[in-house]
Amino acid sequence: MQHLNETMYFIVNPMAGNKGSIKTWKKVEEILKSEDVPYEVFFTKEKGHALRLTKEILSRTNQKTRMIAVGGDGTLHELVNGAAEFPHAIIGSLAAGSGNDYVRGVQKTKSAEEALSLFQDNVVRVIDIGQFETNGQTGYFMNSLGMGIDAEIS
């Protein structure tokens, strides 16, 4: 399969996976550089930063844009919410968190290399997203939504 030559955008949560996301990112960055894949990387600084970065990047274009979360389900959740109003967004995730439910259950990639290859291929899988409202705020989710009890149990 022929790989695309468009810029991929990576949003890295350096705190995800007990800071293991940095190790994952460095491994992926080596691959990107060795294969001459165009990319830009952004590192989050606080909660909500991935959402803001996603909106900022996607608002600059109406071309299909690959946005990749490097972190856990929380980082991906922010990307999804930042991208929800942009139909040209293509979202993926590199498992670098503690749970990685989306990667295991929906994306179904077993390694960073496999995920990276998937993101580069001209194959897009459309999935539904859910919408929720709480305290007058609307949000979106992909594979699951917890309202506190799941975190309490964890």
pLDDT tens digits along 12-35: 999 887 777 898 899 889 988 988
Per the CB < 8 A criterion, the answer to whether 132 and 138 are in contact is: yes
When the candidates are 3.40.120.10, 3.90.79.10, 3.40.50.920, 3.40.50.10330, the CATH number that belongs to 8-128 is 3.40.50.10330
Reported pTM: 0.75
What residues does each domain of the chain span? 8-128
Q: Residue 2 has what DSSP assignment?
A: P
Of residues 51 and 94, more confidently modeled: 51
pLDDT tens digits along 74-99: 888 899 999 999 999 988 888 765 56
Match 């503690």 to its residue by tokens. Answer: 98
Match 């996607």 to its residue by tokens. Answer: 58
Of residues 111 and 37, more confidently modeled: 37
Cα–chain center distance at 66: 9
Tokens of 65: 């844009």
Which of 3-12, 45-54, 64-73, 111-120 comes out lowest in average pLDDT?
A: 111-120
Tokens of 120: 């580069």
